[in-house]
Amino acid sequence: MIVAGIGCRKAISAAQVDSAIEAALLHSRLEGHELGSIAVPAAKGMEAAIVAAAAARGVHLVLIAPDALQAADSRTLTRSARSMGTFNVRSVAEAAALAAAGPNSRLLAPRVAVGPVTCALAEGENLP
């Protein structure tokens, strides 16, 4: 299963979320149909753009609790001061992807940034 973890600022659009997902998929040489879910911190789970992006792709939206984000933090590859200040993890996108994909998951690459949205892809054994 492939999970796209998303990190973003407020007031983003579904198109911006989708652009970041597409960039991450392209970077990892994956096709859109291989994506199983989108993961975000629970605090961002009701943002319209994120909900719309998941619906448009026909994938599950997985909301990650703060403790699960922090548990995955040691396996992230990049560091963002904004992520540290807001969620106390080095990369929201990477931690969300890893947490949703399961304890034995791995990042396919470091997060990619497209404007105000970051996306990281993780591969794991969990099903959405």
Domain ranges of the chain: 2-123
Q: Which residue has the higher pLDDT, 46 or 17?
A: 17
Q: Name, in order, each residue with C-beta under 8 angstroms of 43's C-beta and a sequence gap of 6 or more.
A: 66, 87
Label residue 85 by pLDDT band (50, 70, 90): confident
Q: In Å, how far from its chain's centre is CA 75?
A: 14
CB contact at 8 A, 96 and 69: yes
- Condensed to tens digits (0 to 9), the pLDDT of residues 50-71 reads 999 999 999 999 999 999 999 9
Superfamily designation of domain 2-123: CobE/GbiG C-terminal domain (3.30.420.180)
Task: State the pTM of this model.
Answer: 0.93
Beta strands in 30-124 (DSSP E): 35-41, 60-64, 106-107, 112-114, 117-123
